[in-house]
Amino acid sequence: MDISSASGALVISVLRLLHIVAGLIWVGTAILMSFYVEPASQRSGGDGARFLAALYGKTNYSRMIPVAAIITTLAGLLLYGMMSYHETMHSAMGMTITLGALFGLLAFGHGFLALWRSAGQYADLVTSGDADEGTLLALEDKLRRNGRISMWLALVSLVLMAGARYIEPLFG
């Protein structure tokens, strides 16, 4: 695809918009959960557990995050694929974007391997009402711990990608 054409510019603009907005949802929600919702629910005892049960069981939260992660990752991979080898490997900006992409892929992989199934199990258990408190607490701990790991990986990716254009003047 000729990215200098009007249609190429439109494709890049749409992919960038998808990548940024979905990434904002993905990383923003992870930060909100890790720093505010999870600690508040943990300190609230039974009320916090009921809130988490409602969040996972009565909303689309547990489906929204994987969708945002998929859109962010696919759009990012397509954008990265449009960069030349020279851009990615012979400039400080390209190297920073490459490093950001690696952290993004780690966040995506960790989220799907460590969080997706647990979030689905938690949502299923709270909606069915069949779970004992010990099982729910164990899943909450697992979600909390792995959520923080994924959040930090995604946040590092975001900082690297957002700052990539400013690296060249500093180190270029």
**For the segment 62-116, what is each residue's pLDDT rounded down to a tens digit?**
789 899 999 999 999 999 988 877 777 888 888 899 999 999 999 999 999 998 8
Confirm if 15 and 75 have CB atoms less than 8 A apart.
Answer: yes
pLDDT band for 1, please (50, 70, 90 cuts): low
pLDDT at 4: 66
Helix axes 46-58, 133-171, angle to 10 degrees: 70
Confirm if 84 and 97 have CB atoms less than 8 A apart.
Answer: no
Confirm if 143 and 122 have CB atoms less than 8 A apart.
Answer: yes
The C-alpha atoms of residue 72 and residue 150 are separated, in whole angstroms, by 14
Name the residue with higher pLDDT: 129 or 40. 40
pTM score, two decimals? 0.84
Tallying the residues shown for the chain, one arrives at 172
pLDDT at 2: 61
pLDDT at 67: 94
pLDDT band for 152, please (50, 70, 90 cuts): very high
Q: Give the tens place of pLDDT for each residue, 107-151.
A: 999 999 998 888 888 778 877 877 788 888 888 889 889 999 999
Confirm if 149 and 110 have CB atoms less than 8 A apart.
Answer: yes
